């Protein structure tokens, strides 16, 4: 059975840099407060009415395809991972297909939030291994800044997130012992509401009612955006930061070790670990727990904030472009986020 290799990588981040100091002008926060809790110094924000999740994904895809040496007509399948699509429906996959003038190929959208890229990578791997497709374009793109609460009320969430996109072209491996060795996917919905954006939506179930008061319903059960909803912050993302942190520091190392043990390897064998850029403190905890050297872990959350699904491919591109990944090097990707979902992928470059 064929293995899947990353034939090309690309990334795109908007030009607009937003520092912690900029946020301190509109909410009660400070550079010291943000850096102490997250490690973030600045992030990028999209240009309103110009950048979208799809357009940023297109820019990242162009670079990935150029690095892979493939044209739009050669792409067999598209997978697009995001939690911030341009439309509620249709998904961004078909919008990217249209924007890039591709053939009438399949386009799949993945909604696994922070774990979206690795989930999508696992799906693509199955298609390549079975010989169904030869050139898969996988894009992960996020536009968070359009939907954040830029007041003191929303600071715990809003200071964390940034906008950006990453992309890879996946092909059958051409060398022995090259490509994706294994992927590992998990979920636990028991605490789904602890990191969620429940409204506006079509459901106000018992689990959310346990966390917050029920929202007013429309005549057919749908939810209206009302002043009451706005006052309760129900139209903004919600996060119980401490609960997420506690779960993440358990599941991150656990899923990394699962990947290593499945391939009879140990942390010593890793050339580079690229964790989802959720929080620098989480990455540092995982590094310490696995006894990895600093040069074995790549972090760039300091510059871009948390770009959820896009964070792994953005970091992967920067690490590769900076020469931190060499041919034959063992690379581990890992993510944890809303759902909760978590995942890892182990690959030989």
- Tell me, what's the pLDDT at 218? 37
Q: What is the predicted pLDDT for the residue at 212?
A: 46
Please name the residues in contact with 21: beta carbons below 8 A apart, sequence gap of 6 or more. 31
Contact 349, 125 (CB under 8 A): no
Between CA 156 and CA 79 the distance in angstroms is 31
Split at pLDDT 50, 70, 90, the class of 275 is: very high
Assign a CATH topology to domain 179-190+239-348. Answer: Peroxisomal Thiolase; Chain A, domain 1 (3.40.47)
pLDDT band at 225 (very low <50, low <70, confident <90, very high): very low
Mean pLDDT of 76-99: 95
pLDDT at residue 221, rounded to an integer: 38
Give the orientation angle of helix 31-38 with respect to helix 280-290, to 10 degrees. Answer: 30
| Spatial CB neighbours of 65, under 8 Å, sequence gap ≥ 6 | 8, 10, 71, 72, 75, 137, 169
Per-residue confidence (pLDDT) for residue 109, from 0 to 100: 97
Is 110:305 a contact under the CB 8 Å cutoff?
no
**CATH for 4-172 (3.40.47.10, 3.40.50.300, 3.50.50.60, 3.65.10.10):** 3.40.47.10
The DSSP-derived string for 119-144 is HHHHHHHHHHHTTS-S-EEEEEEE--
- 4-172 and 179-190+239-348 share one CATH topology? yes
Please tell me the distance from the alpha carbon of residue 158 to that of residue 225, in angstroms, as a whole number.
Answer: 20
Q: How far apart are CA 102 and CA 152, in angstroms?
A: 44
Catalytically active residues are 114, 276, 306
Query: So where are the chain's domains?
Result: 4-172, 179-190+239-348, 203-229
pLDDT tens digits, one per residue of 103-148: 999 999 999 999 999 999 999 999 999 999 999 999 999 999 988 8
Question: Strand order in 136-142's β-sheet?
Answer: 4-12, 164-172, 136-142, 77-81, 106-110
Token pair, residue 44, equals 């990028």
* The pair of three-digit structure tokens given for residue 285, joined into one six-digit string: 């905890």
pLDDT in tens, 254-272: 999 999 999 999 999 999 9
> Binning pLDDT at 50, 70 and 90, where does residue 206 land?
very low
Structure tokens at 59: 């820019």
What integer is the mean pLDDT of 269-298?
A: 95
Q: What is the pLDDT of residue 220?
A: 34
pLDDT score of 280:
94
- Is the pLDDT confidence value at 53 over 70? yes
pLDDT number for residue 303: 97
- State yes or no: pLDDT of 202 exceeds 50: no
Q: Is the pLDDT of residue 8 over 60?
A: yes
**Angle ∠(17,18,19) on CA atoms, nearest 5:** 115
When pLDDT is averaged across residues 194-213 and rounded to a whole number, the result is 52
Q: What pLDDT score does 199 carry? A: 61
Rounded to whole angstroms, the maximal C-alpha distance in the chain is 61
Per-residue pLDDT, 210: 52
Percentage of the chain exceeding pLDDT 70: 89
**Arithmetic mean of pLDDT over the chain:** 89
pTM over 0.85: yes
Lowest-confidence region among 29-38, 149-158, 330-339? 149-158
How far apart, in whole angstroms, are the C-alpha atoms of residue 318 and residue 231? Answer: 40
The pLDDT-based confidence of 339 (bands split at 50, 70, 90) is: confident
């Amino acid at each position: 059975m064929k293995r899947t290799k990353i034939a090309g990588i690309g990334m795109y981040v908007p030009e607009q840099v937003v520092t912690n100091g900029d946020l301190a002008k509109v909410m009660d926060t400070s550079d010291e407060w943000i850096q102490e809790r997250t490690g973030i110094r600045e992030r990028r924000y999209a240009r309103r009415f110009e950048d979208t999740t799809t357009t940023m994904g297109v820019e990242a895809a162009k670079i990935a395809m150029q690095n892979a040496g493939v044209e739009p007509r050669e792409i067999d399948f598209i997978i697009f991972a995001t939690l911030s699509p341009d439309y509620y429906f249709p998904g961004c996959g078909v919008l990217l297909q249209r924007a890039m003038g591709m053939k009438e190929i399949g386009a799949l959208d993945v909604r696994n939030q922070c774990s979206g890229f690795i989930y999508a990578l696992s799906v693509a791997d199955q298609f390549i291994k079975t010989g169904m497709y030869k050139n898969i374009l996988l894009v992960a793109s996020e536009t968070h800044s359009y939907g954040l609460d830029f007041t003191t009320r929303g600071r715990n969430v809003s200071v964390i997130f940034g906008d950006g996109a990453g992309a890879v072209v996946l092909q059958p491996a051409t060398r022995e012992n090259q490509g994706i060795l294994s992927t590992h996917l998990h979920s636990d919905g028991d605490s789904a509401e602890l990191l969620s954006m429940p409204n506006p939506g079509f459901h106000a179930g018992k689990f959310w009612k346990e966390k917050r008061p029920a929202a007013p319903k429309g005549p057919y059960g749908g939810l209206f955006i009302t002043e009451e909803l706005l006052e309760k912050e129900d139209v903004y993302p919600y996060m119980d930061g401490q609960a997420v942190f506690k779960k993440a520091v358990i599941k991150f190392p656990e899923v990394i070790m699962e990947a290593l043990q499945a391939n009879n390897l140990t942390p010593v064998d890793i050339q580079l670990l690229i964790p989802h850029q959720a929080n620098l403190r989480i990455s540092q905890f995982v590094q310490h727990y696995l006894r990895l050297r600093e040069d074995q872990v790549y972090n760039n959350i300091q510059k871009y904030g948390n770009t959820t699904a896009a964070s792994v491919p953005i970091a992967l591109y920067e690490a590769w472009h900076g020469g931190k990944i060499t041919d034959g090097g063992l690379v581990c990707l890992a993510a944890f986020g809303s759902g909760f979902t978590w995942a890892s992928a182990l690959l030989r470059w």
